[in-house]
Amino acid sequence: MRSPDLGALGDRSPQGIAGVFGRAIRAGELAPGDRLPTVREVAAELGVSPATVSAAWQALRRTGVVVSRGRSGTFVRETPRAWLSPRQRGLVGASPDGLRLDLSRGTPDPELLPSLGPAFGRVSARAGTGVYQDEPVLPQLRSVLQETWPYPVEVVTVVDGATDGIARVLEQCVRLGDRVALESPGYPPFYDLVESLGAEIVPVEVDGSGLRPESLRAALDSRPVALVLQPRAHNPTGVSMTPERAGRLASVLGGRPHAVPWIVEDDHSGAISTSPDVSLGTHLPDRVVHVRSFSKSHGPDLRIAALGGPAEMVDPLVARRMLGPGWTSRMVQTILHDLLTQARSMDEVSEARRQYFGRQRELTSRLGELGLEVRTPDGINLWLPVLDERAALLRLAAAGIRGAGGTPFFPADATTPHIRVTAGLVTPEHAPEVAAALAAAASAA
């Protein structure tokens, strides 16, 4: 049994006690598997009631950093889910009793996804029996995708989700010791992916209009082999790149064509984004690979995304897939085609886009009333500045709400503390209480 030094603890509230133990766990003073002292031991040492310490332990359990094992005691949680990459593990918590609202996952509201029943009903009752060497993309699906692509593109194919497509592009062009420019803050799995390829991350800062041109210009000095960016509903900030910013970035990149040969765009929330469809491919079509996911709009478990770009990149990628998975299920492709062309599902996605926008606007309005001015984001995530990340998460946990810490969203040390909350899950009737909890969490120290 191990315990941090409690002698100098000033705040002896449940949040204060949980905070000192949370910081000790984060600093490694308490290791995975260590047993925390008993409630009565801590209560006696601090001169507080056992109920106060018990409330602190409950807050720690809600954040997922400790686990109760009944009479055996409370333990620091072992490293969870070994199949997840390092930064993804930092985003995953437990689902303890008392958790009322999980806003940590970055997933869409299941109630706002289009119904799959009609689409399933129109798919053959038997699995397809196409030849293994058949074309991997259904021609009718390709036609629909090309009609809605943000710029004329040589080749469009489908892959098993956006991350699968981006991973395959980077595997084509990144070698050991190369550099890859990534957004900071940005999507944690991309950091882990680049590091798994033996490459170095070159961070590029993001502001309210997208990538900062000055930061990109500085990053090009290291001659990265690829740049990965999110043009709309940026995760975690909710920023969407403006057409004007896209033009400025294209000018920076166009002036140095050998500094970053490939630009990869992750349009993960396109169908539920309220921002204009924007792509650097409009300016630099011979260097851009655009990936459009349907997970946020049509369902994560469909595991399908479209990928388009120059034949020079996409044709070898398709050929390599033929030696692995071969193709994305043609049944799933048929379902996606149905969802993209049938009036009912198109209306359902349009309504989801409206609902998400309304939820974001309602929550940020409520935060503004509480003195916390936050720009209304695009998509489903809200990026909230806080005084102390751990204290903010613990304060939310005490209210039965889980958020995601901001640390995994930076390639190195975070410049300023933040938390990310999936605001798209907050319905208008819950907005007042969630806003109050977020405002309290933002000021917690």
Q: In this structure, are residues 383 and 237 in contact, taking their beta carbons and an 8 Å threshold?
A: yes
**1-78, CATH topology level:** Arc Repressor Mutant, subunit A (1.10.10)
- From 115, 57, 82, 37, select the one nearest 298 (Cα to Cα): 115
User: Between vectors from CA 156 to CA 154 and to CA 157, what angle results, nearest 5°?
Assistant: 145
The distance from CA 174 to its chain's CA centroid, rounded to whole angstroms, is: 23
Sign of torsion, CA 161 162 163 166? positive
Comparing CA positions, the residue from 156, 140, 136, 153 lying closest to residue 340 is 140
Greatest C-alpha distance within the chain: 74
Which residues does the chain have with pLDDT short of 70?
1-2, 7, 79-83, 86, 89-90, 92-98, 124-133
**pLDDT tens, 202-258?**
999 999 999 999 999 999 999 999 999 999 999 999 999 999 999 999 999 998 877
Strands 210-211 and 200-207: antiparallel
Say what the pTM is.
0.83
Q: In the beta sheet, which residues pair with residue 226?
A: 180, 262
Domain boundaries, the chain: 1-78, 134-342
Sheet of strand 288-293, all strands in order from the earlier edge strand to the far edge: 155-159, 305-309, 288-293, 262-267, 226-229, 179-184, 200-207, 210-211
Which pLDDT does position 98 carry in this prediction? 61
CA atoms within 13 A of residue 202's CA, in its CB half-sphere: 22
Report d(CA 255, CA 312) in Å as an integer.
21
Six-digit token pair at 341?
A: 């062309």
CA distances from 74 to 36, 53, 89, 274, 375 (A): 6, 12, 21, 45, 40
Q: Select from 3.40.640.10, 3.30.565.10, 3.40.1160.10, 3.30.230.10 the CATH code of 134-342.
A: 3.40.640.10
Contacts for 325 with CB less than 8 Å, ≥ 6 apart: 160
- pLDDT at site 410: 94
Predicted confidence at residue 93, as pLDDT, reads 53
3-state DSSP assignment of residue 388: coil
What is the model's pLDDT at position 100? 84
